[in-house]
Chain A
Amino acid sequence: MFMFLKKTVPFLITLGMGIYTFAYYFMPHRAMQNIWDQLSNWAIIVGGGSMAVGIVSMFRTYYKRSMNRADPNRYYCMITLVCMVGMAVIGFVTGIGDGTLFNDLFLNVMLPLESTMFSLLAFYIASAAFRSFRLKTFSAGLLLFAAVVVMLAQIPAGENISKQIPVIAAWINEYPNVAAQRAIMIGIAIGSVATALKIILGIDKSVFSGAGKV
């Protein structure tokens, strides 16, 4: 009975939903539409619920780590927990609309912090470019040439250096890049279809009862 509930029932639900969703995409019939409307509402509720699961999971993990004296990052874990709980409480008390403390904290603390983290990339790229971008082989040369041309095309000065720079950059983006991207996309799509079919048809049952258990 336990295995039936843990494996067979999830498999049957997945099979049913998989076949229905596939059929719905090609059959715009009223009955199909009504079921879809109902299911899409459920899916949005489940999506919201999964966020709650994520919050609980995150809280448990960071609580354990902050209580572990041997963990060198325990103080960071504590800060994470305090910020998470603090923001949630402030959000519940003041609301999240314009002019609330929650919104002000988001716009004046979270926003500059996250932007700063991402902007650090520029410094790492400059350092990496100086140390490792070497013209060692023909393919490295192609990469170097493409990188320099595309970088110059992304700034107005590129056109001032040579009228040909934007033209070459556009050609790189529109031909070799498109060819490579299409190949990657088709490969991913075929892989996704194969994985989806394996799950829907129950060939891969590891997703139903923990990773690795068949």
Chain B
Amino acid sequence: MTTMNKSNQDTESKKWLNFILNLDKRIVYVFMFFAVCLPFFLNPVVDIKSTPRVQSAFDLVEEAAKNHKAIMIGFDYDPSTLAELQPMAVAFLRHAFSKNVPVVGINFLPNGTSLAASTMDQIAKEYGKKNGEDYVFMGYLPQPTLVLLNLGEDIRKSYKVDYRGIKVDDIPLLKNIQNYNDFHLVICISGTRMPSSYIVYGVNRYNFNYVAGVTAVSATEYYPFLQSGQMKGLLAGMKSAAEYESMAGRLGDGMRGMASQTWGHITIIIFIIIGNILYYARKRMDVK
């Protein structure tokens, strides 16, 4: 009788285990939804320790301010990677404008052109910066490899007019800018393989200070360039944007998104742990 009871209990437990292991994915989605959405109503995480690769990117913008030199930003991202990369772009722009560093924007991704233009205009407006004098967006051009090589010789070889159709020679900011040598720092913000192109066709040949801002998932590709010194800094994912905002002392979308990212990651880790515990529990029952 006792053996029979035990067998019934085992069957019942196994049934439950199978039920949880084959849980409807929509239930998992609901957990994830709340883990990501609810933290937006919490206070943002503001105390974030910076990593050396983000610190060096920050220091290069500070140096640009001290040397009164411009920086160039490649806005090579589109709406798909906006959540991770836009906070970086905004953090760089806010830092540069707050230190009166002129910014030249370029773009090689047609889906991101309007986005880049509106971001630059919006942040410039916050700091009362004038288009053409304190910043300029050159717009989209195809064939990034050729443009990157041309930028090493003369910006005018590739760009005849800016995004608004104003002739390059009529833009006051570009009067003293010819090539990479006139920029203290070149930044590429992208979720594509564009940051590698900047190294192959730009840094290797013209040797300038270069920093990349990439999605966390693609960051592993760029560590070899960071180690070799071809990249002076690397911002990987929203956490790096939050670190940068923390250093600049200005709350932004990076810090606001940290709570959501924290709970999202923790939820995934909990799911991994629960999944493994249940898997081994069922395996043990099968052996019995």
Residues of A whose CB lies within 8 Å of any CB of B are 25, 33, 36-37, 40, 43-44, 47-48, 50-51, 96-98, 103, 106-107, 110-115, 117-119, 122-123, 125-127, 129-131, 133-135, 144, 147-148, 151-152, 154-157, 159, 166, 170, 173-174, 177-178, 181-182, 185
Contacts and interface: CB of A to CB of B under 8 A. Distances in A.
B269 A130 contact: no
Contacts of A185: 224
A106 B114 contact: yes
Contacts of A127: 25, 28-29
Nearest to B279: A134
19 contacts: A33-B153, A40-B146, A40-B149, A43-B146, A98-B117, A111-B82, A122-B36, A129-B275, A130-B28, A135-B280, A144-B276, A155-B239, A155-B262, A156-B45, A173-B223, A174-B223, A177-B220, A177-B223, A181-B223
Contacts of B272: 129-130, 133, 144, 147-148
Contacts of B115: 106-107, 111
Given A40-B149, A157-B262, A129 B271 contact: yes
A182 B216 CA distance: 19
Secondary structure dominating the interface of B: helix
Given A25-B205, A98-B118, 19 more contacts: A33-B153, A37-B150, A40-B146, A44-B158, A47-B143, A50-B142, A96-B114, A98-B117, A115-B79, A126-B32, A130-B275, A134-B276, A151-B265, A156-B45, A156-B48, A156-B242, A173-B223, A174-B223, A178-B224
How many B residues are at the interface, by size bracket? 35 or more
Contacts, number: 149
Interface of A is mostly: helix
A197 to B, nearest CB: 18
Interface string B213-224: 000100111011
Interface in B242-288: 242, 258, 261-262, 264-269, 271-272, 274-276, 279-280
A22 to B, nearest CB: 13
Interface of B: 21, 23, 25, 28-29, 31-33, 36, 45, 47-49, 51, 78-83, 110-111, 114-115, 117-118, 121, 141-143, 146-147, 149-150, 153, 157-158, 164, 205, 216, 219-221, 223-224, 227, 237, 239, 242, 258, 261-262, 264-269, 271-272, 274-276, 279-280
A57 B280 CA distance: 53
A127 to B, nearest CB: 4
B142 A156 contact: no
Give the 9 A-B CB pairs with smallest separation, nearest first: A47-B142, A114-B79, A130-B271, A118-B80, A155-B262, A111-B79, A126-B32, A47-B143, A40-B146
Given A125-B268, A129-B272, A40 B223 contact: no
Contacts of A173: 219-220, 223
Given A111-B79, A119-B83, A156-B258, A126 B267 contact: yes
